[in-house]
Every structure is written in C-alpha cells, then in structure tokens.
C-alpha cells in the first residue's frame, strides 16, 4: 500500500525509529473488550477460531523487558504456528511529546484505537505480505477472564519458590464468590527466571485443562486474571484440606465406611471422569485430592496433567517415585493406566491412615523393587479392597483395571459392606466400629516401624537380585 503523499524514505525512517516497548498502556487499550492482557499464545489459538478473528494482548519476555502490545490475528484455518500472526504495535514519540502508533507499515496513527479503526474499516491486510491478515472480528474477553480489580486477596494458604495460594473473593455476575487464588510470584532475578517462566507456563496449562472439566469430584476453576502481573488462577475454595491431611489429623477415628464411600470412591469417580475426557493426571496421590467438610473428594493439582492417551516424558524431570508406575520409571511413559497404578497407592494411603508409602526406603530402592514386581504389605482394610489394589498395581499396564472397572468394584464392595452392617445387631456394630478404630491406632503404632524392616521389605541384596531379574519375575507382594 502507498504512503499517499509522504516521502517514502521518511516514512521508513519513522518506522525504524518507533519503539516496541510500552511503559504504560493507553487507557483505551486496557478498557477494550477485546484486550486479553498477558494471555499466552496457547490460549490465543483456542479463542481465535476463524480467519480474521483478532485480539489485543501484551507480551513481556522478561520482567526487566518493556511490555509489547500485540495484535494477534488468525490468517489460516490450519493448526500450524503460522496460522496466527502476532503483529507488534510500535510507538513513535514525537518531539512535541505526542505519540504515533504503527503496525507493520510505516503509517502512523494518533491512537491504537485509530489504528484498529483504520484496518477494520478499510479491510486492508495489517501485514502487507499476508493477504488474509484482515481484521474482521474482534474477539471479546471470555467469562473466564477476570480483571485484577475483580479479585480480592485474603489470607495466605501456602507458598513455594515461584508461587503462592491465597484465599479470596472474585466477582462473578455481580456476586462475590469465595475462591482459592494461585499467584505466580514476580521474579526479577535472571538466575531464577527460567524456573519462574516454567512455573507460569505450568499454571496456565493447568487452567487451560481445568476449563474443560465439570464434575463434583474434580476441583472447579472459575478463571484467570492476566491483565497484568502477578498472573492469577481462580479455583474453587475447599476448606477441608487434602485427604492426606485429614487422614493424619483424624488418624484412628475415620471409619471404613467413610474411607470407602467418600475418600476412595469419590477419588475414583473423579479420576474416571478425567480419563473419560482423555486426561492423564500424572500426579494422583492423597496429597493432591482435596476433601470438603461435607466429605466430598475433589481431585486437584493439574500442573503435570496432559491430554491424550499416552505421554512420553523428557529425561531428567522429577517425578514422585513412590506413586509412579514401573513403565514410567523404565520408559518415561505415562498413560491412563499409570494413573490407575498411582490410584492403588492412594487407596493404600487411605487405609494406612496416611502413612508414607515405602516408609524408610530410598527412591532408588523403591525403583528397583517396583520394577522387579514387588509391592508393599496391604494395610488393614475391608474384604475386596486388597483385591482391588492388586488389580490396580499390576505390573503390566494391560493387566490393570480401568478406572471405570475400579469404580464398579468399589460400588460392589460398598454394597456388600452395607449389607453386612445391616445384618449386625446394633451393639455389635458399635463394638466393630470401636475395634476398627483400635486396630487403626495399633497399626499406626506398630506399622511404621514394621514397614521399614526386613519383615516387609526385601534385604538390599535381594532388591538388587530382583532388579537384575525384572523381566522374569512375576508381580508378588513383599512380606505376604
């Protein structure tokens, strides 16, 4: 397109002199309904569905870098990276103090609004070399994108090196809703920057996945606040803590009925739902299942989760070894069946009152034992639960039950337990409950030391021998 009456060389010089950075954004940008803040490219792909769809957003490669204002526009229907182009809006400061705003061409405008108005009304490609880069439809903010002003932070619930979780409130459709807020800490130290960016990427990935899930046994997400830093994820507030913290706080007082009906079956239903959506959670454990005061289990922590039937992990990534399936240890492969293996350890945690799996044994030794087909002693548990665990921690993935099968088996166990309780006289029921709590306390007193001795675990020489014969040994249980 021509510059119409301007000197070409001067216009090019103006373009080159224009800067990309914005110390502060024009008010018209922040208030635009199609301004999406620091929304990552992965989310942009989802929102820009049709050719000509566009949005305004900002990017800041490093905390020390100036923010860049970007017009993202879909230019092709396919899923290749080049199907969406990200045009940087440049700002040229004039001697008299005013500014001109430019896109790819050297055509300056008094405001970002004027720039967009020109390209949307003239139907001129914003990138001259890409004929389909016409701005046709401004994509507005979604209901899950919140302004920081709509979020109120309250007391700290937990923190880590690169993030923290706070209680708070968010305004949804004019109403104040209690929520938990995950915040990414602002990091300016160059040495920590890579890890901080990874954490932010993980947080936004978690939010992206959770938006697609709606189940009573899965923690709900309300949305994200990405106008500016710190980035926030707004999720359902569960005040009861995790299943693990409940097991340890209430050790010796939780009945088998609650462990089966609420903790185990609730977790199983949540995981079965995720599997029906093609989600591999990758970090199933009692610590990652929240537990409401109404005794509802809710699967949380989707930072490691992936969509698809199989996921191959890069070498060198840290994993929770004591909950990890043998094929993940040896081949770095995750699948729905590796979640099933982790679920078996969760059941073990529930019926051992929150004891640490393989207590007193190093991760290196656990790797060798699990890959050789050896398992922990079963805790005291109702009839059928040990059989369920056995089917869920089978050595071969194909031999393990699916989560749907695990749910059905749990429902059968619960039904049988209920029928048995009905047949018992009231006095005997009371005695049985007291006996169960007594046995649970006794298990805690004795079990901890027993599980780190030779009676439950193979001696080191036997572990090494087992590891050498991994492919020839069948799954067995240690000490059984």
Token match 């803590």: residue? 241
Taking the C-alpha atoms of residue 99 and residue 91, their distance in angstroms, rounded to an integer, is 6
Q: Model-level pTM?
A: 0.82
Instruction: Give the pLDDT of residue 326.
Output: 98
Residue among 27, 74, 19, 30 nearest 52 (CA) = 74
Instruction: Give the pLDDT of residue 202.
Output: 84
Taking the C-alpha atoms of residue 383 and residue 410, their distance in angstroms, rounded to an integer, is 11
175-to-89, 172, 262 alpha-carbon distances in Å = 36, 5, 30
Q: 375 is written with which tokens?
A: 């398992």
Whether residue 219 contacts residue 409, with contact meaning beta carbons closer than 8 Å, is answered with no
Alpha helices per DSSP H over 356-459 = 363-371, 385-392, 403-423, 426-450
Residue 23, burial from CB neighbour count under 10 angstroms (0-12, 13-18, 19+): exposed
Alpha helices per DSSP H over 18-166 = 27-30, 41-47, 112-122
Q: Which residues contact 117 (CB under 8 A, 6 or more apart)?
A: none
Reported in sequence order, the residue ranges of 185-255 that DSSP labels E, i.e. its strands, are 221-225, 232-236
Instruction: Give the pLDDT of residue 162.
Output: 73
300-to-2, 118, 187, 294 alpha-carbon distances in Å = 56, 46, 25, 17
221-225 and 145-146 strand pairing: parallel
What are 445's strand-pairing partners? none
Residue among 409, 402, 401, 386 nearest 272 (CA) = 402
137-138 and 53-59 strand pairing: parallel
Residue numbers in the chain where pLDDT is lower than 50: 1-13, 15-17, 445-463, 465-474, 476-480
- Which residue in the list 43, 283, 301, 353 is annotated as catalytic? 283
Whether residue 324 contacts residue 369, with contact meaning beta carbons closer than 8 Å, is answered with no
Token match 């800041």: residue? 60
Taking the C-alpha atoms of residue 178 and residue 176, their distance in angstroms, rounded to an integer, is 7
Q: Which residues contact 43 (CB under 8 A, 6 or more apart)?
A: 36, 204, 208
Instruction: Give the pLDDT of residue 52.
Output: 98
Is residue 182 part of an annotated ligand binding site?
yes
Residue among 51, 83, 57 nearest 70 (CA) = 57
Is 283 labeled as catalytic in the residue annotation?
Answer: yes
- DSSP code at position 130: -
Domains 8-116 and 243-472 share a fold: no
Superfamily of segment(s) 8-116: SH2 domain (3.30.505.10)
301 dihedral zone (left: phi>0; alpha: psi -120 to 50; beta): left
Whether residue 221 contacts residue 164, with contact meaning beta carbons closer than 8 Å, is answered with no
Instruction: Give the pLDDT of residue 374.
Output: 96
What are 291's strand-pairing partners? 297
Instruction: Give the pLDDT of residue 190.
Output: 66
Query: What is the distance, to the nearest Å, from the Cα of residue 114 to the centroid of all Cα atoms in its chain?
Result: 40
Superfamily of segment(s) 145-236: Phosphorylase Kinase; domain 1 (3.30.200.20)
Whether residue 394 contacts residue 425, with contact meaning beta carbons closer than 8 Å, is answered with no
Q: 253 is written with which tokens?
A: 């007082």
SS3 of residue 210 by DSSP:
helix
Q: Which CATH class is domain 243-472?
A: mainly alpha
Domain segments of the chain as ranges: 8-116, 145-236, 243-472
Whether residue 17 contacts residue 92, with contact meaning beta carbons closer than 8 Å, is answered with yes
Q: Which residues contact 135 (CB under 8 A, 6 or more apart)?
A: 52, 54, 71, 73, 116, 119, 120, 126
pLDDT digits (tens, 9 = 90+) for 413-454: 999 999 988 887 765 555 555 555 555 555 554 443 333 323
Instruction: Give the pLDDT of residue 437.
Output: 56
């Amino acid at each position: 397109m021509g510059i119409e009456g301007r000197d070409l060389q001067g216009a090019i010089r103006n373009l080159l002199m224009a800067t990309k950075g914005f110390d502060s954004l024009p008010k018209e940008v922040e208030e635009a309904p199609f301004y999406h803040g620091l929304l990552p490219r992965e989310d942009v792909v989802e929102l820009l569905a049709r050719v000509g769809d566009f949005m305004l957003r900002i990017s800041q490669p490093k905390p020390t870098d100036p923010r860049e204002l970007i017009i993202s526009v879909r230019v092709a229907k396919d899923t290749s990276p080049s199907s969406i182009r990200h045009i940087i809006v440049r700002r040229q400061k004039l001697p008299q103090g005013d500014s001109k705003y430019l896109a790819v061409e050297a055509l300056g405008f008094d405001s970002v609004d004027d720039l967009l108005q020109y390209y949307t009304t003239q139907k001129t490609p914003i990138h001259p070399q890409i004929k389909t880069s016409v701005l046709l439809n401004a994509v507005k903010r979604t209901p899950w994108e919140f302004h920081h002003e709509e979020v109120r932070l309250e007391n700290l619930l937990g923190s880590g090196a690169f993030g923290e979780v706070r209680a708070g409130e968010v305004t949804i459709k004019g109403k104040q809703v209690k929520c938990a807020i995950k915040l990414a800490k602002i990091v300016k130290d160059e040495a920590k920057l890579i890890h901080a960016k990874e954490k932010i990427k993980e947080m936004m990935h978690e939010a992206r996945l959770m938006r697609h899930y709606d189940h009573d046994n899965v923690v709900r997400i309300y949305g994200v606040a990405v106008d500016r830093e710190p980035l926030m994820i707004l999720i359902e507030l569960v005040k009861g803590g995790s299943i693990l913290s409940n097991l340890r706080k209430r050790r010796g007082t939780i009945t088998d009925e609650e462990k089966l009906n609420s903790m185990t079956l609730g977790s199983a239903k949540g995981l079965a739902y995720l599997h029906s959506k093609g989600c591999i959670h990758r970090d199933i454990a009692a610590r990652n299942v929240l537990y409401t005061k109404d005794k509802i289990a809710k699967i949380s922590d989707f930072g490691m989760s992936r969509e698809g039937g199989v996921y191959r992990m890069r070498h060198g990534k840290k994993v929770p070894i004591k909950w990890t399936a043998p094929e993940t240890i040896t081949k770095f492969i995750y699948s729905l069946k590796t979640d099933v293996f982790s679920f078996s350890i969760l059941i073990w945690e529930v019926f051992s009152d929150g004891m640490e799996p393989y207590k007193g044994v190093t991760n290196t030794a656990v790797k060798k034992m699990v890959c050789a087909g050896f398992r922990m002693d079963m805790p005291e548990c109702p009839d059928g639960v040990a059989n369920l665990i056995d089917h869920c921690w089978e050595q071969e993935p194909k031999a393990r039950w699916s989560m749907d099968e695990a749910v059905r088996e749990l429902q059968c166990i619960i039904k049988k337990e209920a029928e048995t309780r009905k047949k018992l006289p009231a006095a005997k029921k009371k005695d049985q409950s007291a006996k169960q709590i007594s046995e649970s306390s006794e298990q805690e007193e004795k079990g901890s030391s027993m599980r780190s001795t030779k009676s439950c675990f193979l001696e080191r020489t036997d572990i090494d021998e087992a590891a050498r014969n991994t492919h020839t040994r069948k799954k067995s249980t240690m000490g059984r």
